[in-house]
A and B are shown apart, each in its own frame.
Chain A
Amino acid sequence: MASAEQVAEEAERREIRDRWLLSAPALIIIFLAATGPLLIVVIYSFLTPGPYGGVVWKFSTDGWLSVLMQRDIFDDTLAFADAHLSIFWRSAKLSFLTTILTLLFGFPTAYFIATRPARQRDIWLFLITIPFWTNLLIRTFAIQEVIRNEGLVNTVLIKLGIISQPIQMMFTDFALMVGMTYVYLPLMVLPLYASMEKIDFRLVEAGYDLYANRFQVLRRVIIPLVKPGIIAGSILVFIPALGAYVTPRVLGGSKNMMLGSLIELQFGQGRNWPLGSALSLSLMAIVMVALLFYVRSVGRRDGAHG
């Protein structure tokens, strides 16, 4: 006869099985239409490009090689692919600057919201949430209307007599940075707010009691307290900025390419799917490193306080 222990064990096994069955549809859909295809990209990155796009099923490491190197078509020697490297560099630089800018603007904004009385907070938070959920394309288009040559900024400056010719902002790195800062600002404010909401202001008071000035309190008390929010916000801005496709396409024009456009090019006119696959995986690798950094820094914090 089965003992009570065996019955309990059997029940537990059945529960775990039921829980797997219950989550199976979600897992299968994500595998079929998200994770699985990523594995195919890995295979494609090691194949030979087909003449009209697509691939020829012949093993080749040229896709990966051309991420960094360029084969000279005349004498077959290898050289660094300056064009690709400079696009990687530009994407990293612009994403980093965007992260810094959103932090500089987002930090005071989140702090402002967190220090409002509880009833007002919801309203301010709501004002951040609306742009957050508004179509990215529409927001990019909206910022374009402000910075284009016939746009709001130039029109106002000309009317005021400050400039006589419109300042060319569109299709420059400046436009990209303004645009990305604009569209990603809510992504910085929300996690910052989430950690600021929990600040115990008695600690701030203690700082003042110890004769700290406002800046010292900010640097020594508030910033260390909201560090998880700063890291989370930075990751949330940096990752999509690095792979941005819509904003550079609308604001950057064809000269100022970022990684997203470079990848698209390989699947369009470039017709080099293996290179496109290798570039996508490189982008993903950078993102994974950033995420790993995030997980580690958050984990360490939890460990220190737990």
Chain B
Amino acid sequence: MASRFDVRRQTGFTTIAMICFFALYLPIVTLVVYAFNSGNSIAVWEGVSLRWFYQAWNNSQVVDAAIRSLQIALVAATIATIVATMAALATTRTKPYPGLGFKYAFINQPLMVPEIVTAVALLIFFSRIKIWTGYSGLGYLMAAHTAFCIPFAYLPIRARLESMDLSLETAAADLYATPWKAFRRVTFPLLWPGILAGLMLAFVISLDDVVITEFVKSGGQDTLPTYMLGQFRRFITPEINAISTVFLLISILIVTVFFFISRKKDHE
């Protein structure tokens, strides 16, 4: 008997898909492998060593940039998640009211404008404020990062809220809970996977940003990505591979947690 006819099959699709997965991972794997090269080259393999990881660890520029990246990402992601949670509470589970559409558009605005345009706009705006106030600290980068992190934090929180029933909060209010108490005791325990997902997403987005940071930063304010971008102009050693590998590991870790939190919700 002939094998069952598979209606889903399309000739060649599986092959192309396999090529895609291979092509997606080959460069990343190459990058990671050469981070362990003992030679000076990112092209000629000379043996396994951890010297480039040591070198990066002892490079004060790299460490400073990494700390700065983490500081900015922590502040930006935390503030963005708090205000995005509030905004999500204000824009879900309601009948349409005047200004609701405007809020959606406004909150998602940073996603719709090309990054380079926002970067230029912030360069112009902040350079003026720097002259007026004389302040040139990390605050500008934190403010810029917070703004573009808000939509990323907002989306998973809103998605989670929309799948939640209002009746529990109504019950809490009937039992004379204040709105804050109802939020803390009822809404938050149900909402936290969404909030955590939003926080992590915002954190990764802030950590990854190159373009806006490159335009907004003052002298000596390199983050890890802008430091790496600067290095590409010079002779590249596997040190960059080593930094990338660590960076990659952190991202993968966060994304893995995020992926399983958001998937779990779907299967519940």
Contacts and interface: CB of A to CB of B under 8 A. Distances in A.
Interface of A: 15-16, 18-23, 25-27, 29-38, 40-41, 44, 54, 105-106, 108-109, 111-113, 115, 122, 124, 126-131, 133-139, 141-143, 145-146, 148, 150-152, 155, 182, 185-186, 189, 201, 204-205, 208, 214, 218, 222, 239-240, 242-243, 245-246, 249-250, 259-260, 263-264, 267, 273, 276-277, 280-281, 283-284, 287, 291
A222 B126 CA distance: 49
Given A20-B90, A41-B120, 16 more contacts: A21-B90, A22-B87, A22-B90, A37-B126, A106-B20, A109-B17, A109-B21, A115-B8, A137-B228, A142-B244, A145-B42, A182-B27, A243-B116, A245-B115, A260-B211, A267-B120
B147 A34 contact: yes
Nearest to B252: A130
Contact of B7 (A21, A208, A242): A208
Interface of B: 5, 7-14, 16-17, 19-21, 23-28, 30-31, 34, 41-44, 79-80, 82-84, 86-87, 89-91, 94, 97-99, 103, 106-107, 109-110, 112-127, 143-144, 146-148, 150, 154, 204, 207-208, 210-211, 215, 225, 228-229, 232, 240, 244, 247-248, 251-252, 254-256, 258-259, 263
A29 B244 contact: no
Contact of A30 (B31, B99, B106): B106
B110 A26 contact: no
23 contacts: A22-B86, A22-B89, A23-B107, A25-B82, A25-B87, A29-B147, A34-B118, A38-B113, A108-B17, A122-B263, A127-B25, A133-B208, A135-B244, A135-B251, A137-B229, A139-B27, A141-B232, A146-B26, A182-B24, A186-B24, A201-B7, A243-B117, A280-B120
B211 A246 contact: yes
Nearest to A284: B117
User: Which of A112, A151, A259 is the most central at the interface, judged by chain B CB atoms within 10 Å of its CB?
Assistant: A112
Contact of B210 (A31, A124, A246, A276): A246
A250 B230 CA distance: 10
Top 4 nearest A-B pairs by Cβ distance? A243-B114, A112-B17, A142-B27, A37-B121
Contacts of B83: 25-26, 29
Q: Helix, strand, loop or mixed for chain B's interface? A: helix
Q: Which of A126, A130, A189, A277 is most buried by chain B, counting CB atoms within 10 A of its CB?
A: A130
B130 to A, nearest CB: 12
Nearest to A288: B112
Contact of B147 (A33, A105, A127, A136): A33
Contacts of B43: 145, 148, 150-151, 155
Given A41-B124, A139-B27, A291 B99 contact: no
B121 to A, nearest CB: 4
Given A29-B83, A246-B229, A34 B148 contact: yes
Contacts of A264: 116, 215
Contacts of B107: 23, 26-27, 30
A38 B110 CA distance: 11
Contact of B110 (A30, A148, A189): A30
A182 B42 CA distance: 20
A143 B28 CA distance: 8
A97 to B, nearest CB: 17
A208 B116 CA distance: 48
